[in-house]
Amino acid sequence: MRPVETPVQSESASRAIIQILLITLAICLISTILVANAFSFEGRRGSDPEKMLSHLTEELALSDDQANQIRPILEAQAEKRQKLFSESSSGGDRRAMREQMRVIHEETDRQIESILTPEQIEQFQELRKRMRGKKRPMQNG
């Protein structure tokens, strides 16, 4: 014979089920956010060529001609970075990846500087120093 449930027992069982569902939902939500953040990591590092071009245009007062010359340089850099991130995501050597990234940045900077005026080169170098200074704490974390 099965015991008869009282309304109090039924209500506490319902609350327990609701709590379990809420905890499960919270775990799923947090997992989704963490995965989304992992995939957007590169985006936070300034890899979007159009955003970078817009920033450079504003900071350096680029002419339309300069912007049109710099756009493919930034697009090529983003492509190289993406390829490097894809290759290294399978557990590659982080030190080697950083070195390759440094080479890509230096190459890109040289190409951009070849398009800029001497005054813009100074501004560009100062901008790079500021940007790299902001990223230093993130690299250690």
Model-level pTM greater than 0.75?
Answer: no
pLDDT tens digits along 4-48: 656 666 788 888 899 998 888 878 777 777 655 554 444 444 468
Packing angle between helix 118-140 and helix 49-60, nearest 10 degrees? 130
Residue-level pLDDT at 112: 95
